[in-house]
Structure 1
């Protein structure tokens, strides 16, 4: 239950309930005002009926009961009706058409009333506003007539009267309540949005291990619980990162120890093979010794690649960039590899043109790149027996190009272990801020080492 009251849902429900309470209070206020008006009117009704028809009948009856058409009599009559209807206005015109008496009349009345003006007045007032009643004094037109005028809005229902009298105030109050609800709702949701954006920013920030940074949890609501889960996720990521680093360190040590342990017996095998090769062997024995020597060389190269790959993954492979005449470097590399390709019967074509600029490269890394590419060709493109090493220059780049006519990388060769060699090429090329591309198909493979201008 405590968690529910701390939730955003509970807070917004409180906001809605407060708004409903304010609307209800405003409704009760209007109802109380209307009831007050109704009580006033009903109290007045107890003294004299305020129904327009009854007022008209009463006015006619009182006018007929007047004994004389004197000013004193008329004034007393007006005073009695004024007590009943404070908002009423009255006047008296005698039988000669002379305005004799008036009480609270709004506007100017003519001093002399002609039959035409009287008829016009009656026509204008009939069914209009104010409510008008005209009666002859004593029931005789010779005594003239008296007129009663009452504003028609006094006959409206109490609620309508309240609205007309306090309409602006009620409208302003209702607008204030709605505005207050909108403002409070805006502040409520703006606070939610602000906290969500803060959480989003925390997700985008990274520490030195490239992991998100923990966020301070200020409130225990839905967003606060999300922030707690986010912090727990960060803790799990850090623990996982630490385990990964520990496992990576163990793997490196294992590979280093394994490489060392493999090279020791491999050296002994190589020495024993050399000793056996001196003996007088049959052709089959010599062929077996030759295959054994080739396998030893391949195993040694695989171990070297494995060590290099491990060091590159750990960013511990030493690098020293210098200005390197890469075309000359390729010529020297091909000179050392040429006998191996010639021995296997490859057709080797070398077309190297000098570049205008030297490359920023590490000679050791560049040598390993070329060795891995050439070793890959020698082992996996024997079917084509073709190797072309050339240069290519455009306005955008300079490139060293290796082309063979093997079956392509998608087709497996009888040799194994080519994947790690190309992985080393990729990491070393990118480590020297160079680029490379490879295109391979059934007609052969083309590899380019590029320096972008």
Structure 2
């Protein structure tokens, strides 16, 4: 049953119908010709005629007439005319007089001279029409009779059918071929229409961003494909709903975890402040400083975790505006300058004005990008104790370059958590339609934040 519902079975049915129609057409023509042959019309006999047979019959019947008369000859001619309607016959007496004629189309002389008789026999020999001359009776005193039949009568039945009905057969075959082409065209047009409908359904998106289901009308191969497509859409929708639920649970877990961690962290910070008021040994002071540094790092990690979660869920507030980035970065560096100075860093700042200092960015996002980069320098490049912030202008982009002399990000460091911080940098940079590059080796790390010109973007 599955095969009979398939497109292959339908197309095979079309081919079988086309072949059947051709066979029926030829059978109909053959039946028609057989009916004609059964009516006794010799011109369309179903059997091939032989010239020798007709010639022998004509001579035999002519020889059997000893007492020739017009009635006898006319009776003979009528008999032959029933069998060969297109044949022409005439009787010429011993003296050359043209007597009885039947179905003669040519102009014949009333008196046949020996010269004309000889000329007639010469012209008819081997030509068309086929001509048979026979004497009546056993002597020549009764004259002779002539039978003329078109040589088309002697053609095989198939050739006669083709000669008389060839155009009908030709146009019949052409009609069948055109019918087959038209049916095939409609068949494949329907397939193409259904495939295009399936393609459109794949491209159209519902409110949830997934393709829409389509109505399955048939149970053939395309119908099975449509059913599989609908099943895939349902599975994608279920998967997306599960993912959304899991994402919501993950955000709630991170939010609750961050809140739960910050509460004891605040208490630890308060206790460390209380301990710092007490008289401590040198080792106690160093331990307290290490604890405070760890508290700061943990707080930064919690903040990064919250920010990353909000960014991935597109919940982080984004408000771009045109700002003077040179002034903004210079003012932002003033808050970090004491931090680096306290840690003994050599600070190299060289901010040259761009041709246009106006960038369309979110100030909070841009500040967060620099904060994460500077925190990464403190964690991973502490051994180099060097940081530089410079600007660079080219025909294709304007950029800020932050560079340190640490051991590189691939080397082990005492501080962890730089991965999520740089992931936040990547999301925020791309979210503000900027670009960035990072290269790290044993001699240090270099980060470039670019604002690519619009013409350069189109060139890519």
**TM-score normalised to the size of structure 2?**
0.85
Give matches, 1:26-425, under 5 Å.
Answer: 26-40=25-39, 51-67=50-66, 75=74, 77-92=76-91, 102-108=101-107, 122=121, 125-136=124-135, 145-355=144-354, 356-425=356-425
Name the CA distance, whole Å, in 2 between partners of 1:123 and 1:267.
138
Alpha-carbon RMSD across the aligned residues, in angstroms, is 3.3
Name the CA distance, whole Å, in 1 between partners of 2:84 and 2:265.
128
Name the CA distance, whole Å, in 2 between partners of 1:27 and 1:112.
51
State the Cα distance separating 1:385 from its structure 2 match: 3.7
Give matches, 1:424-435, under 5 Å.
Answer: 424-435=424-435
**TM-score normalised to the size of structure 1?**
0.86
Name the CA distance, whole Å, in 1 between partners of 2:42 and 2:152.
18
State the Cα distance separating 1:73 from its structure 2 match: 6.6
CA gap 1:190/1:45 in 2 versus in 1, 3 angstroms: closer
State the Cα distance separating 1:134 from its structure 2 match: 2.6
State the Cα distance separating 1:108 from its structure 2 match: 4.7
Three-state SS of the structure 2 residue aligned to 1:319 is coil
Name the CA distance, whole Å, in 1 between partners of 2:44 and 2:348.
124
Summarize deviations over 1:149-199 as a string: whole Å, max 9, x none: 212232334343333322222332233233223222221222122112101
Name the CA distance, whole Å, in 2 between partners of 1:271 and 1:286.
16
Structure 2 residues without counterparts, runs of 5 or longer: 454-460
CA gap 1:237/1:153 in 2 versus in 1, 3 angstroms: same
Name the CA distance, whole Å, in 2 between partners of 1:56 and 1:108.
24
Name the CA distance, whole Å, in 2 between partners of 1:118 and 1:438.
120
Name the CA distance, whole Å, in 1 between partners of 2:345 and 2:278.
31
CA gap 1:112/1:349 in 2 versus in 1, 3 angstroms: farther
CA gap 1:99/1:448 in 2 versus in 1, 3 angstroms: farther
Instruction: Find the counterpart in structure 1 of residue 14 from structure 2.
Output: 15
Summarize deviations over 1:204-231 as a string: whole Å, max 9, x none: 1101221011112223333333323322
Summarize deviations over 1:289-313 as a string: whole Å, max 9, x none: 2222211111111111111111112
Name the CA distance, whole Å, in 2 between partners of 1:310 and 1:443.
33
Structure 1 residues without counterparts, runs of 5 or longer: none
Summarize deviations over 1:386-417 as a string: whole Å, max 9, x none: 32211122233222121233444444434321
Preserved contact between residue 94 and residue 142 of structure 2 (Cα < 8 Å): yes
State the Cα distance separating 1:271 from its structure 2 match: 2.1
CA gap 1:89/1:297 in 2 versus in 1, 3 angstroms: same
State the Cα distance separating 1:27 from its structure 2 match: 3.5
Summarize deviations over 1:33-75 as a string: whole Å, max 9, x none: 24324434599999xx954212112222344455578877755
CA gap 1:290/1:118 in 2 versus in 1, 3 angstroms: farther
CA gap 1:253/1:80 in 2 versus in 1, 3 angstroms: closer
Name the CA distance, whole Å, in 2 between partners of 1:323 and 1:163.
90
Summarize deviations over 1:363-396 as a string: whole Å, max 9, x none: 2111111011111122223354432211122233
Preserved contact between residue 41 and residue 83 of structure 2 (Cα < 8 Å): no
State the Cα distance separating 1:425 from its structure 2 match: 1.1
Name the CA distance, whole Å, in 1 between partners of 2:43 and 2:365.
111
CA gap 1:84/1:14 in 2 versus in 1, 3 angstroms: closer
Name the CA distance, whole Å, in 1 between partners of 2:209 and 2:322.
34
Name the CA distance, whole Å, in 2 between partners of 1:106 and 1:336.
128
State the Cα distance separating 1:84 from its structure 2 match: 3.5
State the Cα distance separating 1:344 from its structure 2 match: 3.9
Three-state SS of the structure 2 residue aligned to 1:260 is helix
CA gap 1:118/1:377 in 2 versus in 1, 3 angstroms: farther
Aligned residues: 450
Three-state SS of the structure 2 residue aligned to 1:324 is strand
CA gap 1:17/1:76 in 2 versus in 1, 3 angstroms: closer
Preserved contact between residue 131 and residue 148 of structure 2 (Cα < 8 Å): yes
CA gap 1:412/1:52 in 2 versus in 1, 3 angstroms: farther
